Amino acid sequence: MHRESATTRQLYRDIWILAWPIAAANFLSRGAAIVDTAMVGHLSSVALAGLGIAQIPVFLAMAVQRGLGIGGQVLIAYHTGAEEPERRFKVARAVVALSTLVSLGLSVLLWLIAPTLCRLMGADDAMLAQALRFLGVYYLIQPFSGAFFVFSCIFQGVGDAKTPLYVTLGVNMLHVLTAYATIFGHFGFPRLGVAGSAIGLGFSELTGAVILAVIAQRRRLWAANLKNLSLRAALAVWRLGGPAVGERLLVSGMQGVYYRFLTGFGTAAMAAHRIGIDMEATSFLPAMGFGQAATTLVGQHLGAGDPKTARRAGWMTTQIAMVFMGALALSFYFFADGWMHLFTTDTEVIALGKRFCAVAAAIQLPLAFAIVLAGALRGAGETRWVMMTPFVGGWLVRLPLSYLLGYTWGYGLMGVWWTMMADWMLRCVLITFKFKYLKFRLGDKVTTP
């Protein structure tokens, strides 16, 4: 099937229609986590550091869920563009079933190894106790988080980004209210500290997953029964989603080792890094939204037989994201003190965090370029190439340089932080080269019956 190529104005419109709700939904989701961090930060620096340590095992679980969701989104976008609703329906059922099954197994496995992972990252007894309080609840609710993300990917794949946004808005209001009540012990709830953060996350995302599932079934995008599940559709999801899982695992593993390097500089440095990452989410989460929009648009145009517009969509989406992230980079640099005071009153953490803000400002443009074009490559089915980039940039460049600059050559904490620039610059080069010279072959990788 081949359709007339979209005009520049039409393409900008399509990008905005998809990107701003996805970016807003991502920001809202992370916003709730940022509020959690701020609330936990007012308990103690040890509680905040423990929550930061807990994020690495959490990221491992999210890696698998998000990889499968991306595989499903690419195929759903392709079948939407090709006007094949029955194949799209089979993919949606397969990705939900596969994600649920894998999430249950992951919850058991990761809970068993969580203490070892936290120790490997340098947690002392106090940090470990806080981390395990969070993880003990999180792994009970982790399948709900996976289901919520996968259903959001289904809607985004068909080009409807507003439904997940509206549901996410309600989910995050519920998340913050529940976390506030259970972290501090308000409204008759017990004071649970960091465990309350996990309860707020789980209860709200369970609610969101149920709402999206009901809407998806009413629109015949998905069905709840297990009859006639397609193994071939599940394999098709895994073929594209498997490398995306590998990518996220490589990123999570790299971040775990990187975080281990930071533990050598003390609790305040770890707390400052955690706050800095949450602060930086205001920029890279919109970029991820543009990247997910690029995934959908590239997949849909390839399904419609229009590779020229698919390539244009990737470049145009990247340009828009760079404008947004450039503006936020300026705010990180010039208003660093204000950013840090949003999260903590600890003077040592604030002083270190302001130094992190300078690094965060510098990496925003390469970060935008790499994140959004990577989304375009996923939409073209090139998930293996995207998987390779964090291995080269993170494992082969960032981690060795972190050890050399931070410990061997004596540049300390700032030396470790500045290695992020080398990582993201190299990823930009690799991703740009691939997308510029890519011959689109997504149709050869689609095996949905």
pLDDT of 225 > 50? The answer is yes
- Please check the confidence at residue 114 and state whether its pLDDT lies above 80: yes
User: Across all residues in the chain, what is the average pLDDT?
Assistant: 88
Q: Can you give the pLDDT at residue 242?
A: 92
With cut-offs at 50, 70 and 90, classify the pLDDT of residue 1.
very low
Residue 343: Cβ within 10 Å count? 25
Which residue, chain included where needed, has tokens 């993880």? 135
Query: What is the value of pTM for the model shown?
Result: 0.85
- pLDDT class for 381, splitting at 50, 70, 90? very high
pLDDT-derived band at 428, boundaries 50, 70, 90:
very high
Q: Per-residue pLDDT for 5 more than 70?
A: no
**CA distances (Å), origin 197, targets 76, 105, 440:** 33, 23, 43
Residue 112 burial by CB count (10 A; 0-12/13-18/19+): exposed, middle or buried?
A: exposed
Contacts of 348 (CB under 8 A, 6+ apart): 268
Question: 37-51, 158-172, 212-226: which range is least confident on average?
Answer: 37-51
The pLDDT of residue 4: 53
State residue 274 phi and psi, 5-degree precision. Answer: -60, -45
Each residue's pLDDT tens digit, 304-343: 999 999 999 999 999 999 998 888 889 888 888 888 887 7
| CA angle at 249 for the pair 247 and 250, rounded to the nearest 5° | 65
Q: What is the CA radius of gyration of the chain?
A: 21
Question: Average of pLDDT values for 371-386?
Answer: 95
pLDDT at 273: 82
- The distance in angstroms from the start CA to the end CA of the chain is 18
Q: What is the DSSP letter of 7?
A: P
Give residue 2's pLDDT: 46
DSSP class per residue in 232-292: HHHHHHHHHHHHHHHHHHHHHHHHHHHHHHHHTT-HHHHHHHHHHHHHHHHHHHHHHHHHH
User: Predicted confidence band at 157 (pLDDT cuts at 50, 70, 90)?
Assistant: very high
Token pair, residue 107, equals 């919850």
